[in-house]
Amino acid sequence: MSDAALSARALQNLLGEWRAGARGAVYLALAERVRLLVLDGRVSVDTRLPAERELAERLGVSRTTVTAAYRHLREQGFVRSIRGSGSVARIPGAPAVLPVPPAPTHLDLSKAAPPALPWLADVAREAVDDLPAHLGDSGFDPIGLPVLRQAIADRYAARGLPTSPEQIMVTIGAQHAIALVSRVLVGRGDRAVIEAPTYPHAYEALQLAGARLVAVPVAPHEEADVANRVDDVDALERALARTNPSTAYLMPDFQNPTGRSLDADARRRLLDVAARQGTVVIADETTAELDIDRNHSPLPLAAYGPAGTAVLVGSLGKTVWGGVRIGWIRAEPALIRRLLAARLPGDLGTPILEQLMATRLIGRMDEILELRRAELRAGRDRVESLVAEQFPDWHVPHVDGGIAVWIGLGAPVSSQLALAARAQGLLIAAGPRFGIDGAFERFLRLPICQPVAETEAAVHALRRAWESMPGLAPAEAGLLPAVV
């Protein structure tokens, strides 16, 4: 069994507004929220839950309520009781610690990532033809093939940021890159600024490195007019100046999940403050080139400040396919050497065959982006029209790129809706998954990078889930148009 234990205070933060929109017994509302936390990974399998009395005092409910909630979770298979160890989270039918894959009949929109390129198999076969030239050495490559590092450097140069291969390390995807950079730049107890909401696995990597997170609110794309963008940047600047963080993690282009982008002036201001504070900005560029109809694309963040102020992270996961596990880090050569030394105890390199595929793919990136932009435009437009038809009270920001929209639900029911959607065969990430304290119950991330048919099926499943929720009055259900 894992040694992980969750305090009552930590669980209270994760629960957020757990009573909002609930009808019926309080213990059922509590049990359902804990169940969601386990299902979407915010409470890991085999984590010890707080003692009943401790949690009851923290939540301001009776111990009987918590006891009944835990009993209900045990009956559903989401909690097991171990003598001397209390109540431990689990998933029905799963071996300890291992997550359960979704059922084949489920539509999984919890991951905002496009399907594989239609000609990806052809690239794989071509890469196999390149493989014999690399079979003469050990095959352990912790920094990246020279040909791939050159291709990535050339891509940055084409985007307006001169880069040498010595500034590139190839990694096993962007998440590997973020975790590695975090381990090198963050000391235990250091502060790290993040946006709120933000990409959850990034802040998890910072937490694992020992960072104390400082969350700065950011506005959804459509709300980020000139005045609000200034407010966003002002808040980030104040956080950098006030907390003196070692690092800051940002997504400058089409932020996940809000879709917000920073203009050139905002990038320049942020790096100016970061340079004065000695803060290194980790800029996640996994969605940077996925514009649909943006009028002007700013340069990569590192172009706006002194050398070494920004470390860039990229990957092929959002452009090519998540199954091609290739990412990279762009940093100054001195930091690349530190990253290399820190990497070797954890892994010995990136697979050669996938690097050969990546080299060919990056050479065709303009073609790839043309295809993806057409898909994203179709997905965005269909989401906007479907949600307007099925949920006229929801607010869908009009994004000009990226992989998702951050929908305003108008009520704090996101977790409740995510649970109801599972019963309709749809897996979707609730708003609080993108925060660190149970916030964002009024929001839902809906990907726009899926095939249009999947998008339509997902919205119709959301409609059925919405109507099934106990907090939705029959009169409100009657205002919604029929499923088509």
Instruction: Using a pLDDT cut of 70, give the percent of the chain over it.
Output: 90
pLDDT at 476 over 50: no
- Name every residue whose Cβ is closer than 8 Å to that of residue 364 and which is 6 or more positions away in sequence: none
Burial 265-298 (b: 16+ CB within 10 A, else e): ebbbbbbbbbbebebbbbbbbbbbbbbbeeeeeb
Residue 215's CB is within 10 A of a number of other CB atoms, namely 18
Contact between 172 and 191 (Cβ < 8 Å): no
Residue 109's CB is within 10 A of a number of other CB atoms, namely 25
pTM of the model: 0.83
Q: What is the pLDDT of residue 21?
A: 62
Evaluate whether residue 372 is within a structural domain: yes
Q: H/E element holding 203?
A: helix 200-208
Tokens matching residue 77: 């298979």
Q: What is the pLDDT of residue 199?
A: 95
> Residue 424 belongs to what domain range?
107-115+367-478
DSSP label at residue 5: B
Q: What is the pLDDT of residue 101?
A: 58
Residues paired with 79 in a beta bridge: 89
Domain check: are 247 and 285 in the same one? yes
pLDDT at 260 over 80: yes
The 10s digit of each residue's pLDDT in 316-368 is: 999 999 999 999 999 999 999 999 999 999 999 999 999 999 999 999 999 99
Q: What is the pLDDT of residue 231?
A: 58
Instruction: Work out the pLDDT band at 23, boundaries 50, 70, 90.
Output: low
Evaluate whether residue 96 is within a structural domain: no
Domain check: are 157 and 306 in the same one? yes
The 10s digit of each residue's pLDDT in 398-449 is: 999 999 999 999 988 898 899 899 999 999 999 989 988 778 889 999 999 9
Domain check: are 351 and 440 in the same one? no
Residue 210 is part of a domain; what is its CATH number?
3.40.640.10
| Bond before 333 cis per omega within 30 degrees | no
Distance CA 259, CA 290 (A): 11
Domain check: are 193 and 232 in the same one? yes
How many domains, the chain? Answer: 3
Once rounded to an integer, what is the mean pLDDT over residues 359-385? 97
Contact between 254 and 372 (Cβ < 8 Å): no
Residue 77's CB is within 10 A of a number of other CB atoms, namely 13
Mean pLDDT value across the chain = 89
Domain check: are 202 and 85 in the same one? no
